[in-house]
Amino acid sequence: RKEVEQDPGPFNVPEGATVAFNCTYSNSASQSFFWYRQDCRKEPKLLMSVYSSGNEDGRFTAQLNRASQYISLLIRDSKLSDSATYLCVVRNSGYALNFGKGTSLLVTP
Amino acid sequence: EAQVTQNPRYLITVTGKKLTVTCSQNMNHEYMSWYRQDPGLGLRQIYYSMNVEVTDKGDVPEGYKVSRKEKRNFPLILESPSPNQTSLYFCASSFSGSDEQYFGPGTRLTVT
């Protein structure tokens, strides 16, 4: 079983919609959690870190549920420019990072 | 400009011909890492380095070597490339390994 699992999508949503992605991880000792964004085979870029208390950055909200071992990302008021692949990333007790395969989002006019 | 650079960006080579992909960062980061990305498999870590002369294996180290003789450079070496190493490779760096990773632009490698 892969350590980090995501629904690959694609998620096709109209502009202005709210969309949520979930990610589950298998290692209960995981320590750090992130969402990265990757545009069409370009390099991944950090979207936001995920904290136990949850965190929000503009239209984006990330939540962590340690008991159920899942992480979520909510995007409100979707823009065309939000179209990308969203990668869930988990760090265990060492320094190796585990990436999910990514969830593809397409926002349409 | 703070950045991670990789060279070459594109490379087509033949089986067995040794090659090196260079990675350099100008942010004084201690942590550097190499990943490969394949369709349907996502990003997988090859090797990482916590500091000069300190390296460790990631998930898929077989067929690769790395070295960290200077803080800014972390080359990836394929001693005898094979077609199953055809992939998109990313180098990344960060201050500590537990914070934001900055990725290079990627190297698309084809081994025939």
Model confidence band, residue A1 (pLDDT cutoffs 50, 70, 90): low
Check: CB of residue A54 under 8 Å from CB of residue A63: yes
Going residue by residue through chain B (112 aa), what tens digit of pLDDT does each one get? 889 999 999 999 999 999 999 999 999 999 999 999 998 888 999 999 999 999 999 989 999 999 999 999 999 999 999 999 999 999 999 988 778 899 999 999 999 9
A51 touches chain B (CB under 8 A): no
CA distance B86 to A65: 37
Identify all chain A residues contacting B6, using CB atoms and an 8 Å cutoff. none
- Amino acid at the residue A56: E
**Residues of chain A above pLDDT 90, percent:** 76
CA distance A73 to A56: 10
Among the partner residues A36, A43, A46, nearest to B105 by beta-carbon distance = A43
